[in-house]
Amino acid sequence: MGLNVIMMGPPGAGKGTQAGRFARERGLLKISTGDILRAAIKADSPVGLRAKTLMHRGELVDDATMIDIVRERLLQPDAQPGFVLDGFPRTVVQAEALDRIVAERNNGPLVVVDVRVPEKELVRRLASRLICSKCGANAELPKAGEPAAARCARCGGELVQRVDDNEQVVLERLKVYERETKPLVEFYRDRPTFRIVNGAQGLERVAHELDTVIDDAALVGAKEAAAEAVKAVSPEKAARA
């Protein structure tokens, strides 16, 4: 059975890192919308061309196009074991479409994890984030008690503070995130496969908590799906159970 995960969380919560790790460890496809958007454009697929035209006109890629790109990717064979989505869905329309795609794949429940970090901590993290002046890679946050690295781990370039990471900009970005994701959280909140994880801990603690809640939610989701299947085949039997 496939394992399908959505990872939500504000910028600075570390969900991209966690999504990558979880996908690697479980042999799942990690999908960030930026990556598959670029891939679709590069592959010149019909939907990729549509996105390219929009972007050339300076327009945002609309829900319908984004949904088609995600759908195309999720129905490919290498996505069969399951996926970890990072950055999708962003809207309720996209979330509804994703439910239909998951039903169409018919391979495992959809688990939604919201990685939460208090605003004060996010501001601290984002404002102290360094990037490489040469290759643009994010410098890793130093572990507690260790000094920050002076050079880029990837290319040895000099690390500098991101220009858009001052406190005001960070707060504004978080406000935009809150506003945009509130309807999404409401959309998923009452599902038995929705989980909240405390992202204000060390990387390893967060990883452990994520592993635990995702496995638990997947189990709950699978049981629910089995009960639904029984109901579909034999409503009387389900009523007796």
Catalytic residue list: 15, 90, 129, 162, 173
Contact flags string 87-126 toward Zn ion, x per CB under 5 A: ----------------------------------------
The arrangement of strands across the sheet holding 29-32 comes to 29-32, 82-86, 3-8, 110-116, 194-198
Looking at the Cβ atoms of 137 and 220, the one nearer to Zn ion is 137
- Which H/E stretch holds residue 112? strand 110-116
The answer to whether residues 94 and 63 touch, using CB atoms and an 8 Å cutoff, is: yes
Contacts of 21 (CB under 8 A, 6+ apart): 207
- Least separation in angstroms between CB 23 and Zn ion: 24
User: What values do phi and psi take at 31, rounded to 5?
Assistant: -120, 115
CB 136 within 8 A of CB 130: no
CA distance 53 to 46: 11
CB of 123 to Zn ion, least distance (A): 25
Q: Which residues contact 215 (CB under 8 A, 6 or more apart)?
A: none
CB of 136 to Zn ion, least distance (A): 7
Nearer to Zn ion, 53 or 128 (CB): 128
Of 135 and 219, CB closest to Zn ion: 135
Position of tokens 């503070």? 161
| Closer to Zn ion by Cβ: residue 8 or 130 | 130
Q: Is 157 in the site for Zn ion (CB under 5 A)?
A: yes
Instruction: Give the footprint of Zn ion on residues 166-195 (CB under 5 A).
Output: none
Q: Hey, which residues between 127 and 156 contact Zn ion (CB under 5 A)? A: 132, 134-135, 137, 152, 154-155
Output the smallest distance, CB 54 to Zn ion, in A. 31
How far is residue 169's CA from residue 39's CA, in Å, rounded to a whole number? 30
* List of residues contacting Zn ion (CB under 5 A): 132, 134-135, 137, 152, 154-155, 157
